[in-house]
Amino acid sequence: MRVVLDPGHAYPSANRGGNGYDESLGMWKLCNYLKDILVEQGYDVALTKSTKEENPSLTARGAFAKNSDLFISEHSNAANGSARGAEVYRSVQLPNDQQLAADMSKAISSLMGNTNRGAKTRQSTKSATSDYYSVMASARRQNCPHVLLIESGFHDNVEDEAFLLVDDNLKKIAEAQANVIMKYIPNYVGNTTKPTPITTQNNEQIIWDFLKSKNFSDFAISGIMGNIFAESGLKPNNLQNNFEKTLGMTDDQYTQAVDNGSYANFATDSCGYGIVQWTYSSRKLTLLNYAKSQNKSIGDLNMQLNFMYNELLTYKGLVDMLNKSQSVLEASNLFLLNYEKPADQSPKVQQLRASYGESYYNKYHVVNTTDSNQIVFDAIDTIVQVNVLNSGDYWKNVIKEGKLQYLDQLFLNFSNYVKTHN
């Protein structure tokens, strides 16, 4: 998949905050952070300029979108200090990008802790079927299928500017955007190239360790986690995106309102919530009562994990089937089709969720000691047969294949093996 990133404006820019933030410099950094992440995931990524000082015309910037799958123009906003928040414009010609834009806005605003201003469009004053922003109109003339203009905060707002001034925060925005891109425009065909979810490391590790403590197999854990990532990005306080605008609350605001009792419709509002997006009233009421019985926030991760596990035990034979799975795909589909049961259960969705699960499997699955020893023993037999026991390069490769975390034990076993075979 080819992605074009457009860092708005040119350095130095007149678009500045009160404490030194420069929009052109901030967006230059953001685009480069995002490019690095996407390239690592296998995307083909281009920027519309090669230095922060360059200032191509809006038409020229949009022209880069030719033969691309996604074009994003990155900006921060301004409103004389009277506004705060993130918003994402999609092309008026691409109504199917509404949810993509909504999710992108939500991801950024949740990270920045500001207002989610949502998905928007702006028509040209000359034609209702054309975009107001010239860079978007130019990109659409290249027949690019996905075109966004992102406003990550208001740089003339003190709080938003403070956030944007920190490079690590720009990196986090890039990670949040990358997750949304990977969800809607995955960089794989079939099962060949699999995107890696980029999430909060702590939540990721907590979920893996919890499921491991319940004796789930690594295939099962990975299949479950791929589904959780698809549902919520592993965020326990995740409120279903399209309800944020309806309710006028962010993830944090909704969670706090449920916790303090000022919002009493949690069980009946039909909003998906939590790591697996509980939606039905009976399940949400049971979740709420469980949280209260544990004296935990409705958005507490460990509470939700325990609740999910208890639910899984009520699905006849499902835990056993998950643990007998012979692949991440098999486990992922079992969880998807029997527990999650989303509206879209298409093969494309199955492949995408399994691809997320594969990334967790590749990251956390560890070959056990017995398997590692066998790898080495088999290799030693080969070495002995061809009389190359002193081949350092060959042995290094053997150790690499045998997993370095068992190196000490492997050397001991190797020593014992050699003594018994002399």
pLDDT score at 160: 94
Q: Is residue 191 part of a domain?
A: no
CA torsion angle for 37, 39, 43, 44 (degrees, to 10)?
130
Query: Residue 422: pLDDT above 70?
Result: no
Q: How confident is the model at residue 16 (pLDDT cuts 50, 70, 90)?
A: confident
pTM: 0.51
The mean pLDDT value for 241-263 works out to: 88
242 with 273, same domain: the answer is yes
Name the nearest CA neighbour of 252 among 75, 115, 390, 93: 115
pLDDT score at 421: 52
Can you say whether the dihedral through the CA atoms of 394, 396, 401, 402 is positive or negative? positive
168 with 292, same domain: the answer is no
CATH number of residue 319's parent domain:
1.10.530.10
Phi/psi of residue 47, each to 5°?
-105, 155
Query: Residue 167: pLDDT above 60?
Result: yes
pLDDT score at 408: 47
In our burial notation (b when 16+ CB lie closer than 10 A, e otherwise), range 19-54 reads eebbbbbbbbbbbbbbbebbeebebebebbbeebee
DSSP code of 2? E
345 with 416, same domain: the answer is no
Name the nearest CA neighbour of 72 among 155, 188, 181, 195: 181
344, 364, 384 - which closes a domain: 364
Q: How confident is the model at residue 40 (pLDDT cuts 50, 70, 90)?
A: confident
CATH number of residue 55's parent domain:
3.40.630.40
Q: Give the Å distances, CA to CA, from 98 to 89, 95, 118, 146, 407.
A: 9, 6, 10, 10, 52
Residue scoring higher pLDDT (405 or 226): 226
374 with 358, same domain: the answer is no
Residue-wise pLDDT for 267-310, tens only, equals 999 999 999 999 999 999 999 999 999 889 999 999 999 999 99
Phi/psi of residue 92, each to 5°?
-65, -20
212 with 330, same domain: the answer is yes
Expressed as residue numbers, the domain containing 38 is: 2-184
158 with 66, same domain: the answer is yes
Query: Residue 148: pLDDT above 50?
Result: yes
Query: Residue 417: pLDDT above 60?
Result: no
Residue-wise pLDDT for 82-129, tens only, equals 899 999 999 999 999 999 999 999 999 999 999 999 999 999 999 989
pLDDT score at 416: 56
The count of domains in the chain is 3
399 with 324, same domain: the answer is no
CB-based contacts of 206: which residues, under 8 Å, 6+ apart? Answer: 301, 302, 305
Q: Is residue 195 part of a domain?
A: no
222 with 323, same domain: the answer is yes
Q: Is residue 345 part of a domain?
A: yes
Token reading at 87: 């918003």
Residue-wise pLDDT for 338-393, tens only, equals 999 988 899 989 998 999 899 899 888 875 444 445 555 555 554 444 444 444 44
In our burial notation (b when 16+ CB lie closer than 10 A, e otherwise), range 236-252 reads bbbbbbbbbeebebbbe
Residue scoring higher pLDDT (118 or 41): 118
- Kindly give the pairing relationship between strand 44-47 and strand 70-77: unpaired
256 with 319, same domain: the answer is yes
Q: Where are the alpha helices (DSSP H) in 11-79?
A: 23-40, 58-63
Mean pLDDT of all residues belonging to the chain: 85
213 with 294, same domain: the answer is yes
pLDDT score at 419: 54
355 with 301, same domain: the answer is yes
- The CA distance from 57 to 59, in Å, is 5
Q: How confident is the model at residue 411 (pLDDT cuts 50, 70, 90)?
A: low
285 with 373, same domain: the answer is no
Q: Is residue 194 part of a domain?
A: no
364, 390, 409 - which closes a domain: 364
Q: How confident is the model at residue 202 (pLDDT cuts 50, 70, 90)?
A: confident
Contacts for 15-22 with beta carbons within 8 Å, 24 or more apart?
15/76, 15/78, 15/155, 16/155, 17/155, 17/156, 17/161, 17/164, 17/165, 18/156, 18/158, 18/161, 19/158, 19/161, 19/162, 19/165, 20/165, 21/76, 21/155, 21/161, 21/164, 21/165
First to last CA, the chain: 56
136, 154, 184 - which closes a domain: 184
The mean pLDDT value for 209-233 works out to: 94
Q: Is residue 193 part of a domain?
A: no
